Amino acid sequence: DQQVKQNSPSLSVQEGRISILNCDYTNSMFDYFLWYKKYPAEGPTFLISISSIKDKNEDGRFTVFLNKSAKHLSLHIVPSQPGDSAVYFCAAMDSTSYGKLTFGQGTILTVHP
Amino acid sequence: EAQVTQNPRYLITVTGKKLTVTCSQNMNHEYMSWYRQDPGLGLRQIYYSMNVEVTDKGDVPEGYKVSRKEKRNFPLILESPSPNQTSLYFCASSLASGSPYEQYFGPGTRLTVT
C-alpha cells in the first residue's frame, strides 16, 4: 500500500524553464512534507519542506505547494538548471507518529542545456 | 565536517551469513534511521531511533535488527540475509527538535545477497 506516490517516473525540461514535480498521498494524518534530491552514488539531501498549516513554502528557486483537499503537493523549480538533474523524492510524516517517514518512488529530473 | 558515515559501502555475501552495516554520525543527532532503496519502490524505512536505547519499526523491519547503545552509532544487523534483502541501504540522522525531519543521509551501502 503506497501511501505516497510520485506517478511520473521521469521528467525532462529545458534549461531555464520551469520543472514541476508532483506527489500524491493517501493518508490524511500526514501533516508534514519534505522533498529530497539525490544524485547518483550519493545519499539524498534535504531540499525543502512544508507543514500542513501552510499551502506554500519558497526557498530560492524552489517552491513547494500543498493542496490538502486534493492530498497533493508539488515542487516547482524556476529556472531549472542542468545541475538540478537528479532523482527527487517526496516524503510525508504524521507528526503524532514522530520519526516514521514515508517516501514516494522518486522522479528522475533531467534538465537539458 | 558534519557527516553520516556507513561501512562497508559495498558488500557481497551469501544467504544466511550474518552481517552488520555500521552507521555513525558526528552531529550529536538524537534521531537516526535506516532505509532501503529499491527500483520502483523509492525509499522505505526499516527502523528508526529517537535516542539511545529507543528504537521502533518502520515500514519494512522484517529480517533486520538494530541497536542504539551510543548516540552516534546505529548499526543495522541482518542475522540471516536472504536474496530479497539485496538492496541499497541508507542511514540518516537528524535533530529531534527544531527541524527534526530534515535528515542527513549517509552515502549508501550496496548489499548483494547471493
Cβ–Cβ below 8 Å for B4 and A43: yes
Contact B90, B37 (CB under 8 A): yes
For an interface test with A, the pick among B87, B93, B103, B104 (most A C-beta atoms closer than 10 Å) comes out as B103
Q: What are the phi and psi torsion angles at B87 (to 5°)?
A: -175, 175
**In A, which residues are within 8 Å of B107 by CB distance?**
41-43
Is the pLDDT at B100 greater than 70, yes or no? no
**In A, which residues are within 8 Å of B35 by CB distance?**
103
> How many other β-carbons are positioned within 10 Å of the β-carbon of residue B66?
21
* Mean pLDDT within A63-82: 97
Is the pLDDT at A112 greater than 80, yes or no? yes
B99 touches chain A (CB under 8 A): yes
Is the pLDDT at B96 greater than 80, yes or no? no
**In B, which residues are within 8 Å of A34 by CB distance?**
101-102
Q: What are the phi and psi torsion angles at B90 (to 5°)?
A: -125, 140
B101 touches chain A (CB under 8 A): yes
B59 touches chain A (CB under 8 A): yes
Residue of A nearest to B50 (CA): A99
* Mean pLDDT within A76-88: 97
For chain B, give the percent of residues with pLDDT over 70: 96
Residue A44: which of B41, B99, B105 has the nearest Cβ? B105
* Sequence letter at residue A43: G
Across the strands, what pairs with B18? none
More confident residue, B41 or A1: B41
Distance of CA B83 to the CA centre of its chain: 18
Residues A40-72 have pLDDT tens digits of: 989 999 999 999 999 999 999 999 999 999 999
- Convert chain B into a string of H (helix), E (strand) and C (coil): CCCEEEECCEEEECCCCCEEEEEEECCCCCEEEEEEEECCCEEEEEEEEEECCEEEECCCCCCCEECCCCCCECCEEECCCCHHHCEEEEEEEECCCCCCCCCEECCCEEEEEC
CA distances from B91 to A42, A50, B24, B98 (A): 12, 23, 9, 20
Is the pLDDT at B58 greater than 80, yes or no? yes
Query: How far does A45 lie from chain B, in Å, by closest CA?
Result: 7
* Sequence letter at residue A29: M
